[in-house]
Chain A
Amino acid sequence: MSPVIPVGPYHPALEEPYKIELVCDGETISDSRITVGFNFRAIEWLAERKNYTQDLALVERVCGICSNVHTLTFSRALEQLAGVEVPERAQHIRVVVHEAERLHSHLLWAGIACELIGFQTLFMTCFALRETVMDVLEAVSGNRVNYAMNKPGGVTRDIPDPAAVIAAAREIGRVTSEQLVPVLTGDPTVRARCAGVGVLTREEALAWGALGPVARASGLTQDMRRAAPYEIYDRLDFEVPVRSEGDVLARIVVRALEIVESCRIIEQALDGLPAGPIDCGDFLRIPAGEACARIEGPRGEVFYYVASDGSDVPTRVRIRTPTFHNMPTVALMVAGQQLADAPLIQASIDPCYSCTDR
């Protein structure tokens, strides 16, 4: 009988609970079973019993790291329902915070990946850069997490010192280009540890609906900022990094290159920051109807569906997070791999269990 190695739901290296049972044939993983739901909070149920203002605070707490994407997607769904145009300046500010959150998420993940690879010095570099982003987010929003920047029709705060944010983005982009990317793409230790490990093919990624950097590391090209542009993304110059290898290394490289692109986007959004209001005034009513919104979060497409009967409480709120689709692909990635590679492979999707469980 093959031994089964249970990992989780509580794990010393992860703050969030999930369980993967690895069926092993010697040191090789032959099968696996993933269990989620340990952090299930019935957020969709709760959202259908609170008013829209309360829901904005609620959805911000779907995720600790990518909290901003949830208020942004929810706000966009309400704006679609109400037929509201967001002022130009607010759209620029939204993009700046959206990309700063992506930097924060990717740098956090890159640091953890470096630690799992055994590359402690690079871990320190990533976390030092992440601290710079956290300082920017704190200076802009007053908070290091749960920024409360979005509201239907605009944003809640202006950016007090755009020049300082541009300088920080330039510095993060420079260090990432000069230090992080060359090491992650060329260092023999990283290559030996990550190349050819945990492969997800393009066909598998498509069939299982993989999203974000996980999908783009497997040759799928879609990025919602380019495929279905929102805010000012259709006017910005940026690349969408894509790799075809589908392994852990490809997922690392895609995210590292995305850090550089996010810095470029922040610079452009602030360079062209127009004068004007940051919101379109108070919302009086959300009319009856239904609407969807999608944006490209750090881990991939975030989807919201909101239905309204015209009252101040939505009748249906549906939240689909990217890890919900990326997580099942771990079972494909670990099959046939060494047991010792399982932690790195599961970390390579940058999982968010809070998002998944909601």
Chain B
Amino acid sequence: MGPDVFEELREELGIGSPWEARGDGRWVEAGDLDPAAVAARLLAREARFVTLTATPTSDGGFRLLYHWDLGGALLSIAILVPGARVASIAAVCPAADWVEREVRDYYGLDFMGRDDTPPLMLREGDERALFVRTQALGRDADPADTARRTGSGPAAQPPAAPAAWSGEPNAGGDDDPDNGGGPRR
């Protein structure tokens, strides 16, 4: 695929910055471009959606890298989002459905234009933005603990194991009905 194709595409998408051609594909900073419009143009050229990399920025927004494959060339198109809302591309690009749900689970980013955004890695009813909430608790906080928290309350503890599993010499034992009454293994 010749360089003209990428220049044509850049003009078509209305991106002012030039592509940066590197060993790992072509990169471009596209400012606040509408990702749905970009998706529609790329899909018309039979480009394949690779994935979306969301990175929170220090001002409370996000840098979204939309990765596309165009005839074997990897295009990484960076879009800056000032807040926690961005246009969804899932309606025009079904391949983005799970990625948007995953990004919402991790970072709480809302994808506008979707009928709903059910959780993917989290469960129905879980608080979203797992990584953002965990980050707020400190660098070494554990997302597993955060997932069990509701609001600002303490983390709920998982159910305790039965006493027979504790490994204590006298816990359970051969006569314990929970241990099947047989020898311990």
Seen from chain A, the residues whose Cβ lies within 8 Å of a Cβ on chain B are 36-37, 40, 42, 44-45, 49, 77, 80, 206-209, 222, 224, 227-228, 291-294, 301, 303, 305, 307, 315-316, 318, 320, 324-325, 327-328, 357
Known contacts A37-B121, A292-B25, A303-B67: A325-B143 contact under CB 8 Å? no
Q: From residue 88 to 142 of chain B, which have CB atoms closer than 8 A to chain A?
A: 93-95, 97-99, 106, 119-123, 130-131, 134, 139-140
What residues on B are CB-neighbors of A305 within 8 Å?
53, 65, 67
CB distance from B144 to the nearest CB of A (A): 7
What residues on B are CB-neighbors of A357 within 8 Å?
121
Seen from chain B, the residues whose Cβ lies within 8 Å of a Cβ on chain A are 22-25, 43, 46, 48-51, 53, 55, 65, 67, 69, 71-74, 76, 93-95, 97-99, 106, 119-123, 130-131, 134, 139-140, 143-144
CB distance from A291 to the nearest CB of B (A): 5
The 10 closest A-B pairs by CB, nearest first: A209-B95, A227-B72, A320-B51, A37-B121, A318-B53, A42-B143, A40-B121, A292-B24, A305-B53, A228-B72
Q: Is the CB of A45 within 8 A of B131?
A: yes
What residues on A are CB-neighbors of B49 within 8 Å?
209
Q: Is the CB of A303 within 8 A of B123?
A: no
Q: Is the CB of B121 within 8 A of A303?
A: no
What residues on A are CB-neighbors of B67 within 8 Å?
292, 303, 305
Q: Is the CB of A209 within 8 A of B48?
A: yes
Known contacts A40-B121, A292-B25, A303-B50: A328-B97 contact under CB 8 Å? yes
CB distance from A201 to the nearest CB of B (A): 13
Q: Is the CB of B131 within 8 A of A207?
A: no
One of B53, B76, B95, B139 near A208 (C-beta < 8 A): B95
Q: Is the CB of A37 within 8 A of B53?
A: no
Q: Give the distance in Å from the alpha carbon of A315 to the alpha carbon of B53 in the complex.
A: 13
A215 closest partner in B (C-beta) = B48
Q: Give the distance in Å from the alpha carbon of A246 to the alpha carbon of B24 in the complex.
A: 31
B23 closest partner in A (C-beta) = A80
CB distance from B105 to the nearest CB of A (A): 8
What residues on A are CB-neighbors of B94 within 8 Å?
207-209, 328
Q: Give the distance in Å from the alpha carbon of A208 to the alpha carbon of B50 in the complex.
A: 10
A211 closest partner in B (C-beta) = B48
What residues on A are CB-neighbors of B95 within 8 Å?
207-209, 325
What residues on A are CB-neighbors of B72 within 8 Å?
222, 224, 227-228
What residues on A are CB-neighbors of B139 within 8 Å?
49
Q: Give the distance in Å from the alpha carbon of A49 to the alpha carbon of B139 in the complex.
A: 8
What residues on B are CB-neighbors of A320 within 8 Å?
50-51, 99
What residues on B are CB-neighbors of A209 within 8 Å?
48-50, 93-95
Known contacts A42-B143, A208-B95, A305-B65: A36-B120 contact under CB 8 Å? yes
Known contacts A45-B143, A49-B140, A207-B93: A37-B46 contact under CB 8 Å? no
Q: Is the CB of A228 within 8 A of B74?
A: yes
CB distance from B83 to the nearest CB of A (A): 20
What residues on A are CB-neighbors of B50 within 8 Å?
209, 294, 301, 303, 320
Query: Can you list 23 A-B pairs with a CB-CB distance of less than 8 A?
Result: A36-B121, A37-B119, A40-B121, A42-B130, A42-B143, A80-B22, A207-B43, A207-B94, A207-B95, A208-B94, A209-B49, A227-B72, A228-B72, A294-B50, A303-B50, A303-B51, A303-B67, A307-B55, A316-B53, A316-B55, A318-B51, A324-B99, A328-B94
Q: Give the distance in Å from the alpha carbon of A228 to the alpha carbon of B120 in the complex.
A: 31
Q: Give the residue among B22, B55, B121 with the most A Cβ atoms within 10 A.
A: B121
Q: Give the distance in Å from the alpha carbon of A44 to the alpha carbon of B135 in the complex.
A: 13
Q: Give the residue among A40, A227, A293, A318 with the most B Cβ atoms within 10 A.
A: A40
Q: Give the distance in Å from the alpha carbon of A37 to the alpha carbon of B121 in the complex.
A: 4
Q: Give the distance in Å from the alpha carbon of A66 to the alpha carbon of B78 in the complex.
A: 30
A327 closest partner in B (C-beta) = B98
B126 closest partner in A (C-beta) = A37
Q: Is the CB of A222 within 8 A of B121?
A: no
What residues on A are CB-neighbors of B99 within 8 Å?
320, 324
What residues on B are CB-neighbors of A303 within 8 Å?
50-51, 67
What residues on B are CB-neighbors of A325 within 8 Å?
95, 98
CB distance from A345 to the nearest CB of B (A): 19
Q: Is the CB of A37 within 8 A of B144?
A: no
CB distance from A44 to the nearest CB of B (A): 8
Q: Give the distance in Å from the alpha carbon of A77 to the alpha carbon of B76 in the complex.
A: 14
Q: Is the CB of A80 within 8 A of B24?
A: yes
Q: Is the CB of A37 within 8 A of B74?
A: no
